[in-house]
Amino acid sequence: MFCVSFSLAGVQFVYSSQFSISGPLFQQKFGISQSAINIILSTAGPISGFLVQPIVGAISDRYTSPRGRRRPFIFWGTICTVIGMIIIGLSVKIGEALGEKFSTVNHYADHYASITFAIFGLWVMNLFNNVTQGPARALVNDLTEEDKKQLANATTAGVMSVAAVAGNLIGASLLHSANPYQIIFLMASGVVFVSMIPTLIAGKEKPYVREMDEEKQSFVGVFKQIFNAFRNIEFSMAKVVFIYFLSWLAYTPLMVNQIDLFNKIVYPGVPNNWGTYMGMYGLALFSTIAFNFSLISPYIIDKIGPKMTYIITQLIATGCYIAIWALPTISPWQALLFTSIPAWNFTAFNSIPFAITSQIVGPKQSGLYMGVLNSASVIAQTLSGAISAPVLSARGDDVRWAIGVGGVFSVLAVIAAFFLETPKRDSLLEQRNSHPILN
């Protein structure tokens, strides 16, 4: 299972690079305001994900390649993601080659070429990272026994957390180099490329064979299938999607603004990128806690059930978001504490909904509904950016207010989680010792 889910480590490495270093790149190197950065980061990934994931999920459910349904998408998605990362890494060099000059104080009007290439690379990276993500998650569930779904998805969350730890620690260690943005993105592109190899080798899926009366899938048919999936979604599945949507709506402001929280609030005016440096270590601590929680979460779920696990972790995250907003000043240890503890909830809402989804829908529709579920997250991220931008503008780019708005949505997620329907735990536990994790 570790090897099968390894391509998702690459997916997470992309997001770690994006949210830890893209903000400083756009702000410090290109002179773009924080509210504009929020719009850029909260639209490229979410909009591309909303467009791509359901389509790729539906196509991959019935894709008839001899190499399987999911692996071709993982391969080509990763290759194109790497190309996007290289474009971002070289955007400053491209701007310099076109005559742009960079100094310690930069303004966006002087760097249109660099900004254009960086945003283009960001869109390419996010677009094809979403091509990889949906089939990679579906592959994990395709190869997992029904009673092992919670464990498999917790393992996946753990693998992604390890990748996030590595990404942020490497980024922090390279931040004081001569060209940190270029080095980090180019190095990350190599890591992402390597990450797909274990999945392609270990994910031995059987080629999909159409049934005798099954029509060949058309492009128009794919859109009809997606439309019908949203229109005819079961009520129990709709609740999973809505709760997942609220959790992402709550978490996104912290995800997007954590580095700037350390830069502007915890270490204001401190030179040498010290705030960015500590923010990256904060992200690494977040990911370390997420990894450790992923190891024990299957046992917690066995004891108290997925619903209570979700509610408790979401409630703890709510307290952290509100504390960040409410405290008049935030010390370094408080910032590290309140930005890392939500990792428990991050692990829960990135494993429990996927396990429940795979138990509600059949294997022939798992890719489609994984795409529907991921669409909820990208809509939430887009909406979060739209809400945060005017809040930040009104509050002088004080990122605590954006995180506080996330706390409000986290309260709603806690309330909604009480209505979550989960498969009966006892029947799954009885089977747990009788099947291996992989088929």
**pLDDT (0 to 100) of residue 50:** 76
**pLDDT (0 to 100) of residue 439:** 32
**pLDDT (0 to 100) of residue 194:** 92
More confident residue, 309 or 92: 309
Q: Does pLDDT of 54 surpass 70? A: yes
**pLDDT (0 to 100) of residue 215:** 62
Contact 282, 336 (CB under 8 A): yes
> What integer is the mean pLDDT of 197-213?
77
Domain ranges of the chain: 6-205+226-433
More confident residue, 217 or 121: 121
More confident residue, 38 or 115: 115
Residues 310-361: tens digit of each pLDDT: 999 999 999 999 999 999 889 999 999 999 999 999 989 988 888 888 778 7
More confident residue, 269 or 408: 408
Q: Is the pTM of this model over 0.75?
A: no
Q: Specify the CATH class of 6-205+226-433 in words.
A: mainly alpha
Residues 239-298: tens digit of each pLDDT: 999 999 999 999 999 988 888 899 888 988 776 677 887 888 888 898 889 888 988 888
As a whole number of angstroms, the distance between CA 278 and CA 265 comes to 12
As a whole number of angstroms, the distance between CA 62 and CA 365 comes to 9
Q: Does pLDDT of 436 surpass 50? A: no
Q: Cα 393 from chain centroid?
A: 26
Q: Does pLDDT of 369 surpass 50? A: yes
